[in-house]
Amino acid sequence: MIQANSSNTILIVEDAYLVGLQLKDDLESLGYTVIGPASSVKRAINLIDTNAVCGAVLDVNLGHENSIPIANRLDKDDVPFIFITGYESVSADDTIFTNKKLLRKPIFIDDVKTALEDL
Amino acid sequence: MKHNQKRIKWTLFAAVSLPLCLLAAAIQFFNYKAINEQSIKHIEAIVQKEAVEITLDFDMLFRQAEQVAQLSATTLMNHPTMNIVDIFELLENNVQQKDIYGSCVAFEPFVFDSDLELFAPYVCDDESKSPPFRFLDIAEDAYDYRDHEWYKKPITLKKPIWTKPYFDEGAGNILMSTYSVPLINNKDEIWGVVTIDIALDEISAKSTSSNKLKGSSLMIVECNGGMLVSHPDSSYIMHNTLADLNSHYPGLINESSNILSGKAGHFKSTKPGSETMWIIYHPISTANWTLIAVIKNSSALTPMLKLIKSNALLLVLALAIMFLVVYFATTVVMRPTVPILAAIKKLSSGDFTARIHITKRNNELSSIADSLNTMASQIEDEITKTEKSLERETLLRREIDHRVKNMLAQIVTLCKQAKKSASEDSIEGLTHQINSLKLVHELLSKEGHSMLPLNELVRQCCAPFINNSTDRLVIDGDSIFLKTKAAMCLSLVFNELATNAKKHGAFLTNGGTVTVRWSSTENGLQIQWIEKHSGTTEEKKQSGFGMQLLLDMIPFELEGTTNIDMAKTGVEFTTIIPFNAIMEPKQ
């Protein structure tokens, strides 16, 4: 249950600049505090290290890498998050996806909001 | 498959074996026939030999009898004064000769003695007497010999004759034949006859007892009338004719003309309900008789049966060996088909990795195997090709799907940003932005690969702003193919630069030019956008979303650096992008 208010900081991990930019705008206009978007695992981990994060929206595919290491780190920190992906499917081998909300692109801010509130 | 293979094998086996069996049966049949004929010929030969022997015996007997009779006649004619004692002595002498049963001198009436009408002194064998002879006058008891053939015929013909065989009831009741010589003096006066009797019983008994044909019976028939002269059952002798035996040996009557005409031959006689008999006949020419041998079919074949049996055994053995050879041959012929059939079965079930391994030989089967192997490997290649192409198609489809979705997401952002500023310019800007994204999509579709030439991207991004004139834009750089993500990012960046140049810079005035050049640096590919135009155009530093995009998008998405410099001669934009983020690796 992550309500939209400024004390709730949301991390955005998204390698598409415009998509990340828009998501940030949208979440901020809903009232969330947003850090990111981060386009790589390294940058995202860096942001988690230096900020208190309440929740996260993770794009699964980050070009030449994926966001599973970030998810693992968030799980370790007990920070809830949702996945977004442009692909039809994600690898079933990764147990990280079980019991996680997965939104498909193109995403709509209402869906993101509902998903965040359900966390 | 296995079943079929076996069927061919057995068909081959049957196709070779059946004619062989038929051939063997035919050989055996003709063999049997030939042997059958041969056995009959064999019997015929024996019968002939027998007949010849009997004939010789008869000849000897007859010649002897004739000589004795002639000698007696000559003696009597030369000594007309012989008395009774002399005559009996002469006759006794005659009878002492071997095989001569009796001898007689029969006189014409009153010739021997003017007081005696009929006189015929006779001497014959009689074992009960000592010496073993009987002396009698057959004219006693009023026996008129003149009516008898043995007397009448030589007198009439005036030459010696042999009588037909007959039973002499008066003189011992035996079968005999008589040689009669007429007694004729110099004046051609007939005195009577002198006779020699020979017993036929002995000779026929001898002939039948020395029978060399096992399982046969011999009989002798007299040719003038067909009377049986010799028969195993003595009650038939001189009582029955050949015709009477027809009930025992059907067909005998039909053959009787041949038998009685002194020919040699044989025929088969089948009496219903009993075994087939062979009847072989051969003439005994001297006596004008015919020797007949009757032999059972089985007895006739006995000597040859062993031969037939051994022949059959040999044939069966040969057939068995043939069968083995044929079986072995068919097995050997069909064996190479086993791996072929196994491979075909695999192929038909869709396993195209199956291959046939026939190591040796260079024949039809091995070429079939080779062709099948070639076919299988070609099909396998085709399948691999198709699979690869399908894989590529799938990848491409996913790639396009992803790209389109990304593009839509980007367009959503662009639209929202345009709405924020909500000016005429921003709507037109949005159109150009969407157009530049479309450009990347078009280039990608045209190439059919995810490869985009950088020079083409630059040219097309600028084209709408310079009405396609080529002298306003200078492109200087090696041929470089962009990654899709880099191309989309750069298309928006170049669109932003060109839009700005059209509004405020080099594309606004006719004299202005833009040079886009790229070159490799140690941090990556450095791309520069350099505007040159004369007029002191009002340089308006861009702000807001456009500038933000220009400076931030490349660092964000491609890990590159950006820098914009408002020089006197115009805007100079420089970006350095790591090679791995911008360029397709060389293939």
Q: Is 80 exceeded by the pLDDT of residue B261?
A: yes
Higher pLDDT among residues B170 and B479, named by residue: B479
Q: pLDDT-derived band of residue B154, with 50, 70 and 90 as boundaries?
A: very high
Cβ within 8 Å, pair B409-A17: no
List the single best residue of A13, A18, A61 to mutate versus B (max B Cβ within 10 A): A18
Pick from B264, B219, B282: which is nearest to B245 by CA?
B219
B402 and chain A: CB distance < 8 Å anywhere? yes
Residue with tokens 């019968």: B47
CA distances from B307 to B21, B34, B36, B302, B315 (A): 20, 12, 11, 9, 12
pLDDT tens-place string over residues B402-432: 788 888 888 888 888 888 777 777 788 888 8
> Reduced to 3 states, what is the DSSP secondary structure of residue B110?
coil
Residues B185-202: what's their mean pLDDT? 86
Q: Please tell me which residue of chain A has the smallest CA distance to B552.
A: A17
Partners of B416 on chain A (C-beta within 8 Å) are 22, 25
Instruction: Identify the closest residue of chain A to B484 by CA–CA distance.
Output: A63
Whole-number Å distance between alpha carbons of B413 and A48: 26
Residue B534 contacts by C-beta under 8 Å, 6 or more apart in sequence? Answer: B509, B511, B512
Extents of the domains making up chain B: 61-202, 423-582
Q: Which of residues 31-70 of A touch B (CB under 8 A)?
A: 37, 39-40, 63-64
pLDDT at B182: 93
Q: What is the pLDDT of residues B227-251, one digit of tens each?
A: 888 887 778 888 888 888 888 888 8
**Residues lower than pLDDT 70 in chain A:** 1, 4-6, 87-94
Q: Is residue B574 over pLDDT 90?
A: yes
**Interval B217-229: pLDDT, tens:** 888 888 888 888 8
Work out the minimum CA distance from A25 to partner chain B, whole angstroms: 10
Measure in Å the smallest separation between the Cα of A5 and chain B Cα atoms.
Answer: 23
Quick: pLDDT tens for A36-51: 899 889 999 999 999 8
pLDDT at residue number B173? 67
Q: B11: helix, coil or strand?
A: helix
Summarize pLDDT for B444-477 with one digit per residue, the tens.
777 555 568 888 888 888 888 887 677 888 888 8
Neighbours of B303 (CB within 10 A): 14
Q: Where are the domains of chain A?
A: 9-118
Assign domain B61-202 to its CATH superfamily: PAS domain (3.30.450.20)
b/e sequence B576-587, b meaning 16+ C-beta within 10 Å: bbeeebbbeeee
| B289-296 and B216-222 strand pairing | antiparallel
With an 8 Å Cβ cutoff, are B553 and A18 in contact?
A: yes
Query: What's the pLDDT at B575?
Result: 93
What pLDDT does residue B540 have? 55
Contact (CB, 8 A) for B198 and B101: yes
Write down the residue that tokens 């929206």 correspond to: A57
Decide if pLDDT at B212 tops 70.
no
**Could you give the C-alpha distances from B205 to B202, B321, B431, in angstroms and in order?**
5, 54, 149
Q: Is the pLDDT of residue B511 over 80?
A: no
Tell me, what's the pLDDT at B561? 92
- The partner residue sitting opposite A19, judged by closest CB among B402, B410, B489, is B410
Predicted ipTM beyond 0.85? yes
pTM reported for the whole predicted model: 0.53
Q: B553, A17: Cβ pair inside 8 Å?
A: yes
- What's the pLDDT at B194? 93
Q: Binning pLDDT at 50, 70 and 90, where does residue B299 land? A: confident
Which of B408, B416, B417 is nearest residue A106 as measured by Cβ atoms?
A: B408
Comparing CB atoms, the residue among A20, A63, A107 nearest residue B485 is A63
DSSP B216-231: EEEEEEETTT-BEEE-
Q: How confident is the model at residue B82 (pLDDT cuts 50, 70, 90)?
A: confident
Q: How confident is the model at residue B587 (pLDDT cuts 50, 70, 90)?
A: very low
Q: Which residue of B has its CA nearest to A42?
A: B559
| Fold adopted by B423-582 | Heat Shock Protein 90 (3.30.565)
**pLDDT, tens digit, 9 for 90 and up, residues B310-366:** 888 888 898 889 888 888 888 887 777 788 888 888 888 888 888 887 766 677 778
Question: Is A21 near chain B, with CB under 8 Å?
Answer: yes
Q: How far is A6 from chain B (nearest CA, A)?
A: 22
B402–A87 C-beta distance less than 8 A: yes
B206: confidence class by pLDDT, cuts 50, 70, 90: low
Contact: B409, A18; criterion CB under 8 Å: yes
**Whole-number pLDDT of residue B448:** 57
Q: Whole-number mean pLDDT of chain B? A: 83
Chain B residues inside the 8 Å CB shell of A111? none
Architecture of domain A9-118: 3-Layer(aba) Sandwich (3.40)
